[in-house]
A and B are shown apart, each in its own frame.
Chain A
Amino acid sequence: MPKFLIVVFAFFVTCFAGCGFEAPAPEAENGGGTLRFISGAPIDTLDPQGTSWLIDFRMIECLFEPLLRVDPATQQLEPAVADALPTVSDDGLTYTFSLRPNARWSNGDGVKSTDFIYAWRRAMMPDMAADYSGLFQEIDGAEDFFAWRTQQLANFEASGDSAQDAWDEAKTHFAQTVGLAAPNDATLVIRLRRPVAYFNELAAFAAFMPLHEASATAFEDIDPASGNVTLQTAYFSSPDTLVGNGPYQLTKWSFKQQMVVDASPHYWAKAQMKNQRVVMQVVSDPVNALLRYHNHEADWYPGVPTAMPQAAELVDSNRSDVHYGSAAGTYFYLFNCQPTINGPSGERDNPLADSRVRRALSMAVDRNLLVEKVTRLNQPVAATFVPPNAIPGYTPPVEAGVAFDPAAAKALLAQAGYPDGAALTGLSILCNSEGGHDKPALAIANMWRKHLGVSVQVELVEKTAFRERRRNQGFTIARGGWFGDYRDPTTFLDMLRQSDGNNDAKYANPTYDALLQTAADQLVSTTRAAQLAQAEALMLADQPLMPLYHYTNLELFDPEKVQGIHPNPWNVRRFEAVSIKIRR
């Protein structure tokens, strides 16, 4: 045998080590049905406090259960680990939950009120720096505790204390100052710093799920150098260590391949479960995912990317397995509202500081044309920031929104000092380059040129640069998108408060802020909704952002074969209520 063949052969033999093959999960053994669905991205973590991704939450909701939950069919809040909706004190500040006596962890332990306090404390600590820390700050003392602990950690090195001592001190400080109490194992009392009308919604939110304190503490890492206390990620990644209180328990997790969960033997509503196993297949390429779905290798494909070319065909197809509906999110363009703009050529006056210019630009956009011919997905066109029909008890002020009216737009622009649109210069639309934002931007720039004579550039930049520039007002007009986190208008409207960290437009209207504040203190829900609508109307008149359309959800499943999925704007899922016709 020639030497070079030996070399080549030896090379292959040495390299062919450990292919990492992963067989697909079989059907549930007890014949109770297996739900196989496609996820477009892998799960990053199963830590309920450690993520803000919808796809992570989707699986976390299989494994953990919060105090309350939303029924996907009726969109009503109902008790989950709690045995009833909480009792609320007259001032709206104290919530008392009593826990279901038969709520169990997957190892058989009872779910205790301290398990909630343990999990929530993590989210309130700078050590963990949770995405949703901000939501916990409504709990009395939480914000101060965060600041206290930050200070403690900053002084840690100089103090010479042991990390364990500092941690013990922090735990004591937390117990004394933060408004969470567990008078007994079955009662959880929460004291808020102000009335939070939507606190029940938060209690149903994934970040507010409990952790099994007894097993989690063994995985606490106390860093002797910095004093930071974190949970090892290993706790959440292995079926051997993760203890959940949800309908399912983790059976197998292969990152970027699949996740398998099986019905938990200790779940309190086990008898009502419609399937025994859920298999999440990770398929990031939408074409591959569609092939897989059509070959019946998956029962359900939620979250079909609407940016893919095939999406418009699916939407138009009238197929019974295509489910297309609005989502609780809005696609919009932000206007930089600051009086001056920092450009490459130094500071200059910002024409967009004048709300008339912003309104005029917004009025010159034909949103119907945009969704019919450009995105081709016929999304619901947006007049308001809060999507209609998404939040129970709130009707956004659609009449206060801007309608397409090129003639009025031209007149308004003239009134603002630009009788000739061409005099309005220096504007550009900032977009991130991926995700198909370029086409709508070009179409809108074209509409402005056609209807107003205004020439606007389209600037496509890479996404981290985009985020950075938007955050630091390095733009005149920037695309934006916003999904609600919880079912209350403030999840949208708070973004435009002057002091809000997400107010990238730097919109500053004291009346708007005051209206939001009045609504925040209001205990009567109808009055509160009216005040919030008034605030939104005021904001829409100013148009710090120009709503374009509301986001949509596209999912595929055959209603003949799969029952119990109720597509809804908030993507509330309940996997255990989905039944699958037995496959042959």
Chain B
Amino acid sequence: MLSLLLSRLIQLPLILAIVFSVTFGLVWVLPGSPLSRNDGRQPPVEVQRAMERRYNLDSPTRFVAGYLNGVLHGDFGPSLQYRGQSVSGILSKGLPVSMSLGVAALAVALFLGTLAGIAGALKPGSMLDGGSLTLTLIGISLPNFVTGTVLLVVFAGLLKWVPIGGWSGPRDMILPAITLGLAPAAYIARLVRLGLADVMGSDYLRTARAKGASHSRALFRHALKVAYLPVLSFLGPAAASVMTGSFVVEKVFNIPGVGEYFVQSVLNKDQFLILGIVLVYATLLIVFNLLVDLAYAWIDPRINLDD
């Protein structure tokens, strides 16, 4: 396991370098200037040249050299769109918000998904199974902005049970976490249901029952453990994606996370922010996949990671 950890850690900078090069190349050829404004007055040409010079946008080599030098010193450069904000500042303020919301959403997803999955697997074809299938179908097909807006209008606007968005305390997390967690919950339910359906008829479970294990003990102690392995591998990328925020959910609930930047930075051609965000996302993805692999090995010792 240690060698796996080491080799993955060595791979990390290599993968990041590749991700950086590809992103940088794509961003550089994007049309338009990040310094121009949408409507209205553009500064004189000589001022625009001075701006480009200031941010090294006039030469790709100077840009890369300056950027990498900055990154090594923990400085991801300035944001060209949000003048006066640094990319490090934006990410360090927004990431904890998105991450904690993502974790809450994952908790919702795991809880709902597991429940629905078990319910479905216990009595296939029953009302319960139909209900859980419907729920997962809704979770997958309804777009976030619909669920989010409906939840917001009903529970915050009409019933006033929770605040109207914002980020002032745990109560603000409830609706967005549900909104964000529904889709992964649906996936998890399907995975659990399928996994359990496979396992429930297997020999070792029958043996367990024969040896006197109760139905629920057989289910929770023996079956779920195996049925959960696919969920675990789904959790890695799901965690990375859910924890880096969602443009829609964060906008609807007015949450100061980083989700918005994934979209806006590209539209604005905000080079520094795009690169910063892509690097952070790639790192998270790699780290979470590694965690999943490690957890796999720990849960199921038959899996040998050193091959």
Contacts and interface: CB of A to CB of B under 8 A. Distances in A.
Interface of A: 2-4, 7-8, 11-12, 15-24, 42, 44-47, 50-52, 126-134, 137, 146-147, 150, 153, 226, 228, 230, 233, 236-237, 254-257, 281-285, 287-288, 291-292, 294-295, 297, 432, 434, 462-465, 467-468, 471, 480-483, 485, 495, 501-502
Contact of A464 (B45, B228, B269): B269
B295 A480 contact: no
A230 B53 CA distance: 13
A255 B93 contact: yes
Given A255-B85, A284-B251, A284-B254, A7 B299 contact: yes
5 contacts: A15-B239, A45-B83, A45-B84, A464-B32, A468-B32
A304 B235 CA distance: 40
Given A45-B85, A297-B164, A7 B298 contact: yes
Nearest to B169: A21
A137 B268 CA distance: 28
A126 B47 contact: yes
Given A468-B32, A480-B39, 12 more contacts: A24-B166, A130-B43, A131-B37, A131-B47, A233-B85, A255-B89, A255-B93, A256-B93, A287-B152, A288-B254, A465-B32, A471-B36
A481 B40 contact: yes
Which of the listed residues B167, B170, B224 has the most CB atoms from chain A within 10 Å of its own CB?
A: B167
Contact of B256 (A7, A147, A255): A255
Contacts of A482: 39-40
Q: Which 7 pairs across A and B sit closest by C-beta, in order of nearness?
A: A45-B84, A464-B32, A126-B50, A129-B51, A256-B256, A129-B50, A19-B100
A271 to B, nearest CB: 33
A5 B221 CA distance: 11
Contacts of B103: 12, 15-16
A343 B86 CA distance: 40
B29 to A, nearest CB: 12
B218 interface: no
A287 B32 contact: no
A331 B110 CA distance: 50
A276 B43 CA distance: 37
A153 B253 CA distance: 47
A17 to B, nearest CB: 7
A20 B167 contact: yes
A233 B46 contact: no
B201 interface: no
Nearest to B50: A126
Contact of A468 (B33, B100, B221): B33
Given A2-B220, A2-B224, A283-B254, A131 B39 contact: no
Interface in B17-47: 30-34, 36-47
Given A45-B83, A283-B254, A292-B165, A255 B90 contact: yes
B33 A467 contact: yes
A15 B256 contact: no
B93 to A, nearest CB: 6
B207 to A, nearest CB: 18
Contact of A51 (B83, B172, B256): B83
B190 to A, nearest CB: 18
Nearest to B56: A226
Contacts of B157: 291, 294-295
B137 interface: no
A15 B228 CA distance: 21
Contacts of A471: 36, 42
Nearest to B104: A16
B189 interface: no
Nearest to A491: B41
Contacts of A51: 83-84
Given A4-B299, A127-B54, A233-B78, A44 B43 contact: no
Contacts of B298: 3, 7
Contacts of A501: 42-45
A127 B172 CA distance: 43
B286 interface: no
A483 B249 CA distance: 32
A322 B165 CA distance: 23
